[in-house]
A = this chain, B = another copy of it.
């Protein structure tokens, strides 16, 4: 199969409704606003939860520094975290890409025919629900930093499934 035969994924704007089957969009829009700190601060409350306490899991805060992959982006694999959610929040105001898929009927691998690609703004993070198949970080600038909240602890918390050759292309 040549690359010209490969499906080119549509890039859809990221919205809470579109992303709902996969997790939570972390954004101020739609969040409950609470005035705090003697009126100097607005708290956009509980934009996302953190679900990492399965087993002996505890939440940790890390930083992911992602570099851009070559164009077109070839989708070769997806991964999931069976024991915890994983949240990404951009630390700079640049768009980035989110690629997810539903699981297959057996529940042991992604269904690559359901791949979906979303373009997030620099003010949108996502929290992948526990067990959701997603592509590793895809950035559009040469380098972009993200704050990541995920799980630390014993237990098997990473499944990775490679497609037989590229499953799809993205032309950002």
A interface list, Cβ under 8 A from B: 26, 28, 31, 36-38, 40-50, 52-53, 58-69, 87, 89-93, 125, 127, 136-137, 147-149, 152
CB-contact partner of A89 in B40, B68, B91, B93, under 8 A: B91
User: Across the interface, which residues of B come within 8 angstroms of A37, CB to CB?
Assistant: 66, 136-137
The smallest C-beta distance from A90 to any residue of chain B, in angstroms, reads 8
With both beta carbons as reference points, the residue of chain B lying nearest to A45 in the complex is identified as: B62
- Taking each of A31, A58, A61, A67, which has the highest tally of chain B beta carbons within 10 Å of its own beta carbon? A61
CA distance A62 to B127 in the complex (A): 12
With both beta carbons as reference points, the residue of chain B lying nearest to A65 in the complex is identified as: B42
Is B64 touching A41 in the complex (CB atoms < 8 A)?
A: yes
Can you report 15 A-B residue pairs in the complex whose CB atoms are below 8 A from each other?
A31-B63, A36-B136, A37-B137, A40-B136, A41-B136, A43-B62, A44-B64, A46-B152, A48-B61, A49-B60, A50-B59, A50-B60, A89-B89, A125-B147, A147-B147
Is B61 touching A41 in the complex (CB atoms < 8 A)?
A: no
Is B59 touching A136 in the complex (CB atoms < 8 A)?
A: no
Is B67 touching A41 in the complex (CB atoms < 8 A)?
A: yes
User: Across the interface, which residues of B come within 8 angstroms of A152, CB to CB?
Assistant: 46, 49
With both beta carbons as reference points, the residue of chain B lying nearest to A91 in the complex is identified as: B91
User: Across the interface, which residues of B come within 8 angstroms of A60, CB to CB?
Assistant: 45-50
The smallest C-beta distance from A53 to any residue of chain B, in angstroms, reads 7
Is A50 touching B136 in the complex (CB atoms < 8 A)?
A: no
Known: A31-B63, A43-B64. 12 other contacts (CB 8 A): A40-B136, A43-B63, A45-B60, A46-B60, A46-B152, A47-B61, A48-B61, A50-B61, A61-B125, A61-B149, A92-B93, A147-B147
